[in-house]
Chain A
Amino acid sequence: MDERVVNSGCEPRASIAEIGAVEGNMPVSVRELTKVYGTVTAVDHISFTLAPATTVALLGGNGAGKTTTIAMLLGLIVPTSGEVRVFGADMSTRRGEVAHRLNFQSPYVDLPSRLTVRQNLTVYARLYGVANVAERIAHVARDLQIEPLLDRETGKLSAGQKTRAGLAKAFLNAPELLLLDEPTASLDPDTADWIRRKLRDYARDRGATLLLASHNMAEVERLADRVILLDQGRIIEDETPRALIETFGRKTLEEVFLDVVRRRSRQPAERPESEVAPARKAS
């Protein structure tokens, strides 16, 4: 009997339906999620859900809790309290059931540098259970324009090329949920713009849910349907980019971000008058 399941795709599977019926069919459901390291609370009772086919950005300054939140969604970190469910599965206990439906990319996590890009993609395609490995790698490589890089050592690629190789790894299983930590960090504007377009096209064509942590406000404005603003581990805003800009009475998301970060980092007496004015417009 052919054991293959056709395909990853958009078609619901029996297990999804079963899980969905019990847990709700949201790609991500986070409830009262908290992570404490010793005396430091990195993530503090946050709750949110990600609907299918949406792109959501996690925004916040350094130490706001973005990376820790993503790590808990991936199962790399166990929450101190609260719950993370991905496609209905508790990531602390049932990660294996859904891991093949998501993927992850971060410029801070490398693919092994001594292997060629093709070798790396082959290994990861097999880890994610892709049956048509060669065809899939060829397709993803064509799509991300890394065909000439396939037989080069990953460690010898430029930062932009490495990002594209990492993205190829993240697209191999056509994930329904893609988690991205600073997807365009350390890239030149042209390459970053190209990556953003790819991500937007992927989310649209695949109907995938994207969650990205970023410091790049232009990127967030361009990609995200919704922004979750974190500060000291707490969600302080959860809106569309446009609604946030309007609410804060600013022109760009960057100005909103600066408002939030400076409001926290400065004592009221030190703040210039323009900033002492209510940062958030009365609604």
Chain B
Amino acid sequence: MSTLSRAASGAEPILLPPTGPAASFRRISALVRRYMYLLRSSGVRLVELIYWPFLQMLTWGFLQKYLAGTTSPLAQGAGVLIGSVLLWDILFRSKIGFSTTFIEEMWSRNLGNLLTSPLRPYELVAALSLWSVIRLGVSMVPVAIAAYFLFGFNLLGLGLPLAAFFAVLVLTSWSLGLISAGVILRYGLGAEELAWSLAFVLLPLCCVYYPVSVLPGWLQVIALSLPPTHVFEGMRSILLHHTFDPKELWWALSLNAVYLFAGYLTFSRFLASARVNGTLLRLSE
């Protein structure tokens, strides 16, 4: 039997070239496929994805409804709170999606198989990033639709800036996810708590529910150095004053580039360090 026909019968594999963009894309999509299989394998996971954002949206939606009936200045800006919740959830869910998917590889003791395969570290990061967006879609689209029908808040009403807001928040979540993953690689699952809590550090600093001006001067500097702050300020500006300054978004996107670079550098350094001190071997077993 010729080699070709043996290969065609499956007796031998036909191997595709291991390098180049097509090979990278294939490996990234293989990992995304793995995460898809995982999500499909458990209805509970699927429900869980929607459950918490939905509860959040309900709580804040009703609060918004209550405030609308008072003389509170907030009542003037219909949807500010619910908008804040939905945008915060984009950041938070995307970050959690990135981190938990990575941790999942450790829980399932699969990291050794992955890191000895032809998969490159940047492909692992790309797959985690892509999957975090897919998870976000599964999680947030139904919740955003529910917000429209229950409270009349149309997230799309934010207009074109919404796409930019989304991009800024997702990019920030990837930076945080990279740092969490790197720390877990280096220090093991004992540092798992960081994956859950890191995003919450941003909650008071990014001024999700209040304007930057509320903060003391020195803290404002820190707040403005965080990309999501510009998103929440921008959202309030649109909803309360019907104005929007695109310069804020460009600034946020520039900051994101810096944070993303720092995040990838942190991940790479910790991965290299885990290869040196043997953590990777222990985590793989």
Contact = CB atoms under 8 A, between A and B. Distances in A.
Could you tell me the dominant secondary structure of chain A's interface residues?
A: mixed
B115 A8 contact: no
Contacts of B278: 35, 37, 42, 68, 71, 77
A139 B17 contact: no
Contact of A173 (B13, B31, B114, B119): B13
Contacts of B117: 99, 124, 127-128
Contacts of B7: 6-7, 9, 132
A115 B34 contact: yes
Interface in A129-180: 129-132, 134-140, 153, 169, 172-174
A163 B28 CA distance: 26
Contact of A129 (B11, B16, B115, B272): B16
Contact of A115 (B18, B38, B275): B38
A146 to B, nearest CB: 14
Number of chain A interface residues as a range: 35 or more
A113 B42 CA distance: 12
Interface centre among B12, B26, B29, B277 (most CB of A within 10 A): B12
A61 to B, nearest CB: 18
Contacts of A4: 14-16
Number of chain B interface residues as a range: 35 or more
A96 B13 contact: no
B120 interface: yes
Interface stretch (A49-57, A100-108, A191-199, A266-274): A100-108
A107 B276 CA distance: 23
Nearest to B105: A112
Contacts of A127: 27, 30-31, 114, 117-119
A128 B119 CA distance: 8
Interface string B1-44: 00110011111111111110011001101110110011001100
A135 B8 contact: yes
Contacts of A11: 3
A124 B116 CA distance: 11
Interface in A1-53: 3-9, 11, 35, 37, 42
B13 to A, nearest CB: 4
Contacts of A99: 18, 116-118
B39 to A, nearest CB: 10
A74 interface: yes
B188 interface: no
A264 B275 CA distance: 30
A232 to B, nearest CB: 17
A113 B112 CA distance: 14
Contacts of A129: 15-18, 23, 26, 118
Interface of B: 3-4, 7-19, 22-23, 26-27, 29-31, 33-34, 37-38, 41-42, 104, 108-110, 112-120, 272, 275-278, 280-281, 284-285
Interface of A: 3-9, 11, 35, 37, 42, 67-68, 71, 74-78, 96-97, 99-100, 103-104, 106, 108-116, 119, 122-132, 134-140, 153, 169, 172-174
Given A109-B285, A131-B13, 14 more contacts: A8-B15, A42-B278, A78-B272, A99-B117, A99-B118, A104-B113, A112-B38, A119-B34, A123-B37, A126-B30, A128-B13, A128-B118, A136-B10, A173-B13
8 contacts: A76-B280, A100-B15, A111-B110, A130-B14, A131-B14, A132-B13, A135-B9, A139-B9
Pairs of residues from A and B, 10 with the lowest C-beta to C-beta distance, nearest first: A135-B10, A126-B30, A139-B10, A109-B112, A99-B118, A131-B14, A129-B16, A110-B109, A8-B15, A123-B34
